[in-house]
Amino acid sequence: MNIPKKVVLCEVGPRDGLQNETSILSVEEIVSLIDSITESGFKVIEVGSFMHPKSVPQMVGTDEVFKRINKKEGVEYRALIANMKGVERAASCGCRKVKLNVSASRAHNLANLNKTPEESVAGFKETVIVAAYEGIDISGSISMPFGSPWEHIIPMDDVKKIARTYIDAGITEISLSDASGMAVPNQVYNICTEMKNEFPDVKWILHFHNTRGLGIANILAGMQAGITWFDTSFAGLGGCPFIPGAAGNVSTEDVLHMLDEMGVETGINLDGVIRTSKMLLEALNHPADSYILKAGKSRDLVPDAPVIMQYDR
């Protein structure tokens, strides 16, 4: 199987997971959560968002969380923003990486913002300039490039146009986010292969929600296309307020367990992640959407068994 030897998992649970919870965790709880996932070895953590508190009350403490977390050298702590205001808030609380988002669905973007996706992205240019001035790195996300509840199929040319507009605005790290959970593996493989060929200088990140149980299959398809950056969420937390029945991101433990057993390096300690996720679920008081939290690692059945390393054989 042709897959990368190493991948980077970006833990997005503190933002994408917690923003969909009915109970709002305190700043202290979120800080200790982020400190413990830092200890598990994640190199990228999405800490929260700088949105209007009325639209996302769960993320109201993000500024304070950034001030209090133990930032480890070499770890990227990022936040989602909607506009320039987000960069200003990031700058004043020590956040050095922000992420913008646009919907690949024309119908969705026009209905919400009265702009095409390209007009939205072109409007980010000033935000990118201010971020650069503040020394803050910036990335862009394209949501629903694999399918939307409005159009169903998003033409690949539309996704390319949005990517090109991001690049013109000065953003070269782009994530493809299947918020609607409509992606399937051969489509993921084809789109990733084509986007990589067309935009070889872009750093691509994949973000899959597990709405129809295909998150982990889609990650594997992305790996086969040579993608090495993936978002996951502890305990599979998350959802999407405007997508009916949307599930969370594919669970961090499930993806990490698969990668560990396949001998793909991540630098992340699965036992640490399992401990954190279990503590988190106790605080949230509901069951997990994560196979490993329910069944345990296959390794626990035969602790001394060797890892099946495709690279070492």
What's the min distance (Å) between Cβ of 303 and Zn ion? Answer: 35
Angle (CA) 166 169 172, round 5°:
55
Of 218-237, binders to Zn ion (CB under 5 A) are: none
Task: Give the 3-state DSSP-derived string for 126-165, with helices as H, strands as E and coil as C.
Answer: HHHHHHHHHCCEEEEEEECCCCECCCECCCHHHHHHHHHH
DSSP annotation of 22: S
240 is annotated as an active-site residue: yes
Binding piece for Zn ion, criterion CB under 5 A, among 9-17, 76-84, 94-102, 117-125? 9-17
Binding residues among 82-141 for Zn ion as defined by CB under 5 A: none
Q: Which is nearer to Zn ion, 12 or 31 (CB)?
A: 12
Cβ 240 to Zn ion shortest distance, Å? 6
Q: Which stretch binds Zn ion (CB under 5 A): 12-20, 60-68, 275-283, 300-308?
A: 12-20
Which part of the chain contacts Zn ion (CB under 5 A), choosing from 11-19, 116-124, 144-152, 269-277?
11-19
Residue 178 touches Zn ion, criterion: CB under 5 A = no
Cβ–Cβ under 8 Å, residues 42 and 36: no
CA–CA distance, 58 with 24 (Å, rounded to integer): 5
Stretch that binds Zn ion, among 14-22, 162-170, 190-198, 275-283 (CB under 5 A): 14-22
Q: How many residues bind Zn ion (CB under 5 A)?
A: 1
Binding mask 237-266 for Zn ion (x = CB under 5 A): ------------------------------
CB-wise, 16 or 260, nearer to Zn ion? 16
- Nearest approach, Cβ of residue 216 and Zn ion (Å): 15
Beta bridge partners of 203: 173
Give 180's contacts (C-beta < 8 A, 6+ positions apart).
Answer: 144, 146, 147, 148, 149, 209, 211, 240, 243, 246
Instruction: Write out the binding residues for Zn ion, residues 184-213 only, by CB under 5 A.
Output: none
Candidate list 10, 13, 14, 16; residue touching Zn ion; CB under 5 A: 16
Dmax (CA) of the chain: 59
Query: Which residues have C-beta within 8 Å of that of residue 96, sequence separation ≥ 6?
Result: 76, 77, 90, 135, 136, 137
Question: What is the smallest separation between the CB atom of 209 and Zn ion, expressed in angstroms?
Answer: 6
Q: Are 209 and 249 in contact (CB under 8 A)?
A: yes
Residue number, nearest CB to Zn ion: 16
Stretch that binds Zn ion, among 1-9, 16-24, 119-127, 185-193 (CB under 5 A): 16-24
Q: How far is the CB of 308 from Zn ion (least distance, A)?
A: 31
Q: State the distance between the two ends of the chain, measured CA to CA, in whole angstroms.
A: 13
Whole-number Å distance between alpha carbons of 203 and 140: 10
Q: How many Cβ atoms from other residues are within 10 Å of residue 7's Cβ?
A: 20
User: Which of 10, 95, 192, 240 is an active site residue?
Assistant: 240
CB neighbours of residue 242 within 10 Å: 11
Closer of 3 and 179 to Zn ion (Cβ) = 179
Nearer to Zn ion, 40 or 101 (CB): 101
Residue number with CB closer to Zn ion (16 or 254): 16
- Would you please indicate which residues are annotated as catalytic (active-site) residues? 240
Residues in touch with Zn ion (CB under 5 A): 16
